[in-house]
Chain A
Amino acid sequence: MADARPPSSDPAEAGRSLLTRRRLLVTGAAGAAAAYGATASGAAGRGLSSSLLRALTAGTVTFGSNASDPVPKKAYANVFKAFTKKTGIKVAVNTVDHNTFQEQINSYLQGRPQDVFTWFAGYRMQFFAQKGLLTPIDDVWATLKPQFSPAFQNASKGLDGHFYFVPIYNYPWAVFYRRSVFQEKGYTVPKTWDQFIALCKKMKADGLTPIAFTDKDGWPAMGTFDILNMRINGYQFHIDLMGGRKSWDSPQVKAVFDQWRELLPYYSDGALGLTWQEGAQQLLNKQAGMYLLGSFVGQQFQGADLADLDFFNYPSINPKWGQDSIDAPIDGFLMSRKAKNVKEAKALLRFLGSAQAENIYLKSDPNDVAANKRADTSGYNALQKKAAKLIGSVKHIAQYLDRDTRPDFASTVMIPALQQFLNHPDDVNGLVKNIQRQKKAIFGA
């Protein structure tokens, strides 16, 4: 139409008027879009800029995000700005806080989900694919395959072998400590279990809490279970146990709890009443010596304290396995089955999997490590470089208990069970029997 005002070619401004644009589209602006298209094609011959042309003809894609923190929120905004610049497609973001997003994921996926949304790799993702809530994206991965190692490729597939997930970054779980404290007290990094326990004894004698441990929120304890299980019984047993193919009422699982009991005297006082942030503060204030956590613990450290932070891989227990596996959860994106703008969603996913997107995102994130092989690692701080090296060097990567197993099992059975163990560490037989009974009811076998 002659009186249709051409939309601004500035992606930011276009983004801001996005919601009204969306409503327009919903109530039947197929006509309007066609009008834009008609104007554009008619105007092409008159020499409009190619970005304006793209803005006129490209569509929109919607993005559901759990990044409600200001820093990741801004990082994603930058990524989307670059995406819109490259392809002309606008991104409409719906941000919900992290916890609520996770809680509501089932209702979200069946309600009116956005086209693309943030999520995690692991069984949790495969579970949704199995239920038919996701769109397979093998075509997107056709271009992405050479950019990711086989470990990441496998983590992005569903149980049926199709690709569903696009990774952006991951981060390792390791034992964190302050270098200055270790130097001052003459501690050395332990490589075996016996060395580890000996170190704990020394720390306790020196008046430190050897291992900061905080499980009010329920999930931190899973990290210890995971790593002990992988060290004692190997990665394959761990994954099979998570997948419901092994019994919890087995000598292998009991061995994990028995080994865990050795650590309990060295834990923080009042562990079940503390949040992980309070644990990090104990490490920060030199009240605790070591802390098994994901590298997001760095968020609590600034400046000189951050430079002082270091980590080591969890010590080996069974020399057959050594230190060959770690938890290194991968965050990324999925496409919902109900996606409305399929073409644009796939374009966005292709971009999000690229090294360019990861570079933009990680500029403001000093704790995670890029998933893409071609990402630029020159800007990494010392911890990130070490984390990348660790992830690259281990044979197997697990996704963490609550991502590796069924969500209903993890939250309703495992969290209370682990807290029960911490309160009554001697009744392991009763505990694993009960877990197995509930597991049978939930997994069906």
Chain B
Amino acid sequence: MTSATVAAETRRAVRRRPLRVPRIALHGFLAVTALVWLAPVLWAVYTSFRPYADTAKHGYVSLPHAFGFANYRHAWTQGEIPKHFWNSMIVTIPAIVLILLFAASVAFVVSRFSFWFNVPLLIFFMAANLLPQQVIITPLYELYLRLPLPGWLSDTGLFYDSYLGLIAINVAFQTGFCTFVLSNYMKTIPKSLGEAARVDGAGVVRQFFGIILPLCKPAFAALATLEFTWIYNDFLWAVVLMSSGDKRPITSSLTNLSGLYFTDNNLISAAAVLVALPTLLVFAGLQRQFISGLTLGATKE
């Protein structure tokens, strides 16, 4: 490991100098590609600072005659963004907790024990996450209209038009992916830890909560970041299963800003930027974990 690596390093160092021109070309290519990559987003942000009257008169590709945060102010109040953002949080955060709990439970059983049902169980969960949403939407809607919930959990007494209903479908839909990732991750936790605990007399529950879960913290962080993005950005479940405009999550506040006949696209750009901010903040803050999250299930440690 040592002499070979040293040799490799020196060889790499030696090779680095003559590669200067290709390196510059690479930098140039990446810089240009990055700019092109950002351009559409920057364009939308630029539009969001211009009032509709300005772009109606001069077209979107023009220098601004008026520039400011007016659209943002309107989007904030008209789109009722704080209220809908709060609705999103009411759905997203409990959903993430439940998803991780369920996924960890199934992953634990499947990875630490060799039952006959391990493989079919994993298939059962994973395949559920790979189906398109439209496929099940109508029977789900009918089901929700009939499944009762106690009054203190739901205004309507049903799964329909209730936060719990939205949480439940997000949990059901996303658990598969997390189960697969966590089962792979848990396989890398040494068996010896489990053996030692069992010798000490700890039961399954104690092993799960006391040993395995704490070790999965990095995986949880990564998965939580991913799930936040996916659940926060979901649109279809909310639109079909939640009929009260007031309770809908933030993705619906974008459609609220479309008028009866007339749509102020600049206003919607501003709203879209505001709606995207939390996902961008979560992404930026947890970037390292975010990127590792997507690959936990793919490569073995």
Contact = CB atoms under 8 A, between A and B. Distances in A.
A26 B151 contact: yes
Contact of B259 (A69, A111, A284, A294): A69
A95 to B, nearest CB: 5
Interface stretch (B122-130, B219-227, B236-244): B236-244
Interface string B78-118: 10000000000000000000000000000000000000000
Given A112-B156, A112-B160, A98 B258 contact: yes
B245 interface: yes
B259 A68 contact: yes
Contacts of A95: 245-246, 256
Interface stretch (B4-12, B195-203, B260-268): B260-268
Contacts of A277: 262-263
B161 A99 contact: no
Contact of A299 (B145, B151, B258, B262): B262
Interface in B144-202: 145, 151, 155-156, 158, 160-161
Interface stretch (A4-12, A100-108, A374-382): A100-108
Nearest to A66: B260
Interface string A106-135: 011011100000000000000000000000
Interface string A146-174: 00000000000000000000000000000
Nearest to A107: B141
Q: Give the interface residue-count category, chain A.
A: 20 to 34
Contacts of B258: 68, 97-99
B56 interface: yes
A72 B261 CA distance: 12
A318 interface: no
In the complex, which of the residues B160, B244, B245, B248 has the most CB atoms of chain A within 10 Å of its own CB atom? B245
Contacts of B239: 100, 103-104
B231 to A, nearest CB: 19
A97 B245 contact: yes
* Interface residues of chain B: helix, strand, loop or mixed (majority): mixed
Interface residues of B, number: 29
Contacts, number: 77
A67 B239 CA distance: 17
Nearest to A281: B56
A203 to B, nearest CB: 22
A72 B240 contact: no
B78 A70 contact: yes
B261 A299 contact: yes
B243 A111 contact: yes
B245 A300 contact: no
Contacts of B161: 111-112
A285 interface: yes
A321 interface: no
B255 A97 contact: yes
A423 interface: no
B240 A107 contact: yes
A107 B243 CA distance: 9
B97 to A, nearest CB: 26
A96 interface: yes
B269 interface: no
A319 B41 CA distance: 55
Contacts of A26: 151, 155
B57 interface: yes
Contacts of A111: 145, 160-161, 243
A193 interface: no
Interface in A286-306: 294, 296, 299-300, 302
Given A68-B256, A69-B260, A108 B243 contact: yes
Given A98-B260, A112-B160, 6 more contacts: A26-B155, A68-B259, A96-B245, A104-B239, A107-B240, A294-B261
22 contacts: A27-B151, A72-B260, A94-B244, A94-B245, A94-B246, A97-B252, A98-B258, A100-B252, A104-B243, A107-B141, A107-B240, A107-B243, A111-B243, A112-B156, A112-B243, A276-B261, A281-B56, A284-B56, A294-B261, A299-B261, A300-B56, A300-B262
Interface of A: 23, 26-27, 66-70, 72, 94-100, 103-104, 107-108, 110-112, 275-277, 281, 284-285, 294, 296, 299-300, 302
